[in-house]
Amino acid sequence: MHMFIDEAVIHVAGGRGGNGCLSFRREKFVPRGGPDGGDGGDGGSVWLVVNASQNTLQAFRYKQHFTADRGRHGEGSDCHGRGGGDIEVPVPPGTVVHDEDGVRVLADLLHPGDRFLAARGGRGGRGNARFATSTNRAPRRHEEGHPGEERRIRLELKLLAEVGIVGFPNAGKSTLLSRISSARPKIADYPFTTLVPQLGVAEADGRHFVVADIPGLIEGAHTGHGLGMRFLRHIERTRLLVHLVDVSPASGRDPAEDWLVINRELAAYSETLASRPQIVVASKIDAAQEPERIESLAAACRAGAIPFFRISAVTGAGLSDLLHTIAARLDAIAAEEAAAAAADDKTASLEGFAAS
């Protein structure tokens, strides 16, 4: 069974540099050939490189140690040692690199081709030819190669999705994803059908966007209950949350209260995540038999000026309007971010001008 692995700890080591050579030229008819020891080659380095064909850290279950080649030793006749070859370790887009304790972020690798120097190779030692001077023409000094950098680093995967679907187990998240994209998540009528995050690409008004279906949250998730809390990191990068609420009688819960519970769990995990723009969606309206259940949720959204939609992922009712609104909201958020970035650049330029 293929498992979704989104955390890994690996050991990386740069190659040791080669030793410098102690050598003197020995050649017929050259009585004072002098030192000719070459330098050792530099050790290879370990690089993390984003590979778009990967989407989990699964490979690191089977291999956690990565060591680059060492440099070759220098030789006589001023022959320098060959440098050790670098190694490239492929990681999926969205990989965050931490130190071993997970406290400091070393790199955030988002796009295919992004690279991070995880362990630098050691410098090669100098041969005795490097130490010759006008007063010391026969130096016997040479250097050993330097060891490469060596450390343990922690990798964490955060999926790259613009839209995150959140809600209680069985709220209809997987069904919605399957209707608006080509993703085919496993769907059943029992809680926690989705055990791993699912990604799909949706389209509306000529705009394509990536949607992530996050395993269901339950009350108390931030203290370790249920499955969803472990995967909330995967919607930290999203620009917009689609909050699905089951309004059918089968849930046995109050829809307005469900909405508040999930929002509290988001806030307990991260205030930044809780402040993301939301669209609230009443799902399973085809099975809703008590209009007051929907109205209580709609009233709560009106009070908070939050967009509210009614859909049925089974019949397709309301999906088109929802997709158009998501696309428009994403465009508006992108415009706001661009304006904010431009304002920051202008401020920085003015401050630089004033300082000069």
pLDDT at 352: 66
Report the top-level CATH class of 1-157: mainly beta
The predicted model scores a pTM of: 0.67
Residue 188 pLDDT > 70: no
Closest CA to 222 of 231, 213, 214: 231
Rounded to whole angstroms, how far apart are CA atoms 194 and 182?
A: 16
Q: Could you read off the pLDDT of 338-350 as tens digits, one per residue?
A: 888 788 777 766 6
Q: How many Cα atoms occupy the beta-carbon half-sphere of 262 within 13 Å?
A: 26
Q: How many Cα atoms occupy the beta-carbon half-sphere of 101 within 13 Å?
A: 2
The dihedral built from the CA positions of residue 291, 292, 296 and 302, taken in this order, carries a sign that is positive
Q: Could you read off the pLDDT of 214-237 as tens digits, one per residue?
A: 776 655 544 554 444 566 777 788
β-bridge mates for residue 48, sequence order: 89, 116
Rounded to whole angstroms, how far apart are CA atoms 176 and 174?
A: 5
**pLDDT grade for 203, boundaries at 50, 70 and 90:** confident
Q: Could you read off the pLDDT of 268-302 as tens digits, one per residue?
A: 888 888 888 999 999 888 877 778 888 989 998 99
In Å, how far from its chain's centre is CA 304? 32
- Under DSSP, the state recorded for 285 is G
pLDDT at 324: 94
Lowest mean pLDDT among 110-124, 184-198, 318-332: 184-198
pLDDT at 353: 59
pLDDT at 306: 92
SS3 content of the chain, % helix, strand, coil (to 5): 30, 25, 50
Q: Which residue has the higher pLDDT, 12 or 220?
A: 12
Residue 89 pLDDT > 50: yes
pLDDT at 219: 55
The reply to whether 1-157 and 163-340 are identical in fold is: no
**18 Cβ contact partners less than 8 Å away, ≥ 6 residues apart:** 39, 40, 41, 42, 43, 70, 71, 72, 73, 74, 81, 124, 125, 145
Domain-by-domain residue ranges, the chain? 1-157, 163-340
From the options 3.40.50.620, 1.10.3210.10, 3.40.50.300, 3.40.920.10, give the CATH code of 163-340. Answer: 3.40.50.300
Give the number of other CB atoms < 10 A from CB of residue 30. Answer: 9
Lowest mean pLDDT among 159-163, 223-227, 298-302, 329-333: 223-227
**330 Cβ contact partners less than 8 Å away, ≥ 6 residues apart:** 162, 163, 207, 209, 239, 240
**pLDDT grade for 2, boundaries at 50, 70 and 90:** very low
